[in-house]
Amino acid sequence: MTDFATTNTANEPRVSTLTYAQAAAAALQEAMRADQHVVAMGEDLGRGGVFGQYRSADGRNLVDIFGEERVIDTPISEATIMGAGVGMALAGLRPVVEMRVADFALCAIDELVNQAAKNRYMFGGQGRVPLVARLPIGIWTASAAQHSQSFESWFAHVPGLVVVAPSTPADNYGLLRSALQCGDPVVYMEHKELWGMSGEVVHEPVELGRARVAFSAGPSGRTDVTLVSWSRQVHVCVDAARALAEQGIHAEVLDLRTIWPWDRDAVLASARRSGHLLVVHEAVQAAGFGAEVAATVAEHTDARVARLGAPRIPVGYAGSLELESRVGVEQIRQSALRLLKRA
């Protein structure tokens, strides 16, 4: 895997500039080269994936590199794909199961929730399901209600599942490497509108369950409000933090990266410093994962807490309707200001 590296010495990790999609493909390529038990399976993998996430940085489809026995094109049957993946994992393989978009994974939810997630517990650890289910999430412009949903809270609710939501090319590389090394089933949720984002990628795994600071407080170290988010919404929060900074308000933006397990220590520490926590996500606010974060902070700190997510409506096809489901910079800024005014 030296073809994408821009630097490479014996003692330093390689660094490349890759898109979000290429970063994931690079992580998968490296894992497949290192371990012949890693296989990929799903619809349209033969043409490099719907979003090019199974295509190398030099444009080759992964099936041309690893062959049809390891990059497997399947019929359109999500339940069959997921069920086969669970069986492969129990037989000793490490399958990457592609669901195209998270919305379609609902056809496979029994295999994922009742079989993959429970197997280790129900059979006393005799069976493990080291499966990575890639479920792209999020609003996909002009793709309407059945292609734009975010279900991270659904899967975070299920014991036995790890849930990951990378927001940058670097994390899409590093977190997928870690997901592929995890011994338990991982629901891996990439955002459909981040595939083309470019960024520097360090070719090292990123530990699951560790948040990162996406935007830091002012140079004095003062933090007035903590913004917690994940996936694409992290970038909107960073823009909102910059807008708040122009008003003299210092916000710290934490990117959870992993929805379950989530980095409680980092969130609680930041909330204690700032005294104000706002959780922001693209998913519907009602019963969203923001409620879990907000409740935990309220239980363990004296911080004022609030949450902001989409209204409980289907994502519209028309641009004006779709916009109603997006949580924008100004909404976040106004929510932060209201939070700071609370006694």
Torsion-angle region of 67 (φ positive above 0: left; ψ -120 to 50: alpha; else: beta): left
Smallest CA-to-CA distance from 101 within 54, 65, 129, 140 is with 140
- Which of helix, strand or coil describes residue 143? coil
Number of H helices, E strands in the chain: 12, 14
Q: What is the CA radius of gyration of the chain?
A: 20
Smallest CA-to-CA distance from 48 within 37, 58, 36, 35 is with 58
- Single out the catalytic residue among 37, 147, 191, 281: 147
- Which of helix, strand or coil describes residue 238? helix
- 147 among known catalytic residues: yes
Smallest CA-to-CA distance from 194 within 81, 289, 282 is with 282
- Which of helix, strand or coil describes residue 23? helix
**211: its two tokens:** 């948040």
What Cα–Cα distance (Å) separates residue 276 from each residue in 91, 96, 164, 297, 340?
Answer: 48, 39, 25, 10, 7
Phi, psi of 209 (to 5 degrees): 90, 5
Virtual CA dihedral for 251, 202, 139, 304, nearest 10 degrees? -20
Smallest CA-to-CA distance from 53 within 162, 175, 194 is with 194
Smallest CA-to-CA distance from 147 within 51, 276, 17 is with 51
- Which of helix, strand or coil describes residue 196? coil
Burial 156-169, CB ≥16 within 10 A → b, else e: bebebbbbbbbbbb
* Residue in the structure block whose two tokens are 């935990």: 296
Catalytic residues: 147
